[in-house]
Amino acid sequence: MRTIALLNMKGGVGKTTTVINLAHVLTHDYHQRVLVVDCDPQCNLSNFYTDLGDETVTVADYLKSTQEPFWEDCLLEVGNGLWLLPASPSLWELDLASHKNGDSNIMSLRELMEVIEEDKGMDVVLFDCPPGFTAASTAALMAAQEVIIPVLMDGFSLEGMAEMLHQITSMHQANPSLEVGGVLINQWHRSAPVVQAEQVLRAMPVPVYHQTIRRTDKVLESTMVKVPVTEYSIASSAARDYRLLAQEIFGEVPTDE
């Protein structure tokens, strides 16, 4: 089972979009069983797939350690081979509370991964992190083996990179299996500052995926209708890029015998 956290201290860089599209390609083309975990109190990922009811078990329940039932009963099936552990706005309050009392169980998502792994219940788990090191994103980094860092090509993003890598490295003591899978250049387009920033990034001592995701309005349109762009517009540049990114991360699509 591969456990991957999508992380950046910044919002709006494509974390949620990347989770949605990798999950779609993995379930659809690779026939993998995928769990997506929404760690962001903004709930973009959760709302993309479903309208949440009051009864739904969320990441906040795990962090509060109130959720002990069998793992499979806690996940929402939101597609063919696709499950969601949603977020809830109560993650905001949980962060305030845990700063005061330190009472969020940041090991809870790791413990969840251990039972799913033992039951061979999933092939890939993708954690959609909020901006910043909140209780939920820390719990995701305790549970994940790999980090994908989506970035936009501007000076502010490059500036924040060193600090973020430092923070991830400092998690190593608590989670020695955590590695930076790579930095993912998102919303790439042909313009002088983008090309220049890409050169600067690729010269940094950090793995950067060869594949970039191009900027296209098809991604914006796809979020309006709540369909992954890899399904909404198969011919779009971003759909093609996400399929090639999946190959770079997960290998060739298995051929049906």
Which residues bind to ligand ADP, rule: CB under 6 A?
11-17, 44, 186-187, 213, 215-216, 219-220, 223, 238
Q: How many CA atoms lie within 13 A of 155 on its CB side?
A: 1
Query: Residue 153 Cβ, how far from ligand ADP at the closest point, in Å?
Result: 12
Query: Residue 221 Cβ, how far from ligand ADP at the closest point, in Å?
Result: 9
Q: Which of 3, 5, 13, 16 binds Mg ion (CB under 5 A)?
A: 16
Query: Residue 131 Cβ, how far from Mg ion at the closest point, in Å?
Result: 8
Phi, then psi, of 34 in degrees rounded to 5: -120, 135
Query: Residue 123 Cβ, how far from ligand ADP at the closest point, in Å?
Result: 23
Looking at the DSSP bridge assignments, the partners of residue 180 are 147
Alpha helices in the chain (DSSP H): 15-28, 44-49, 59-63, 71-74, 90-101, 108-118, 135-143, 155-170, 192-202, 217-224, 229-232, 237-250
Residue whose CB is less far from ligand ADP, 2 or 10: 10
Query: Residue 11 Cβ, how far from Mg ion at the closest point, in Å?
Result: 7
Residue whose CB is less far from ligand ADP, 116 or 136: 136
The three-class DSSP label of residue 99 is helix
Residue whose CB is less far from Mg ion, 44 or 211: 44
Residue whose CB is less far from ligand ADP, 108 or 216: 216
**In contact, 82 and 27? CB cutoff 8 Å:** yes
Residue whose CB is less far from ligand ADP, 58 or 187: 187
Binding to Mg ion, residues 207-246 (CB under 5 A): none
Residues in contact with Mg ion, counted by CB under 5 A, come to a total of 3
Residue whose CB is less far from ligand ADP, 17 or 98: 17
44 binds Mg ion (CB under 5 A): yes
**In contact, 86 and 76? CB cutoff 8 Å:** yes
137 binds Mg ion (CB under 5 A): no
Reading the block at residue 159, the tokens are: 């500036």
CB neighbour class for 164 (10 Å; exposed up to 12, middle 13-18, buried from 19):
buried
Q: In what order do the strands lie in the sheet with 82-85?
A: 76-79, 82-85, 34-38, 124-128, 2-6, 146-151, 179-185
Give the one entry of Mg ion, ligand ADP, none that residue 215 binds, where binding means its C-beta sits below a cut-off of 5 to 8 angstroms depending on kind: ligand ADP
Q: Which helix (H) or strand (E) holds 78?
A: strand 76-79
The residue ranges that bind Mg ion (CB under 5 A) are 15-16, 44
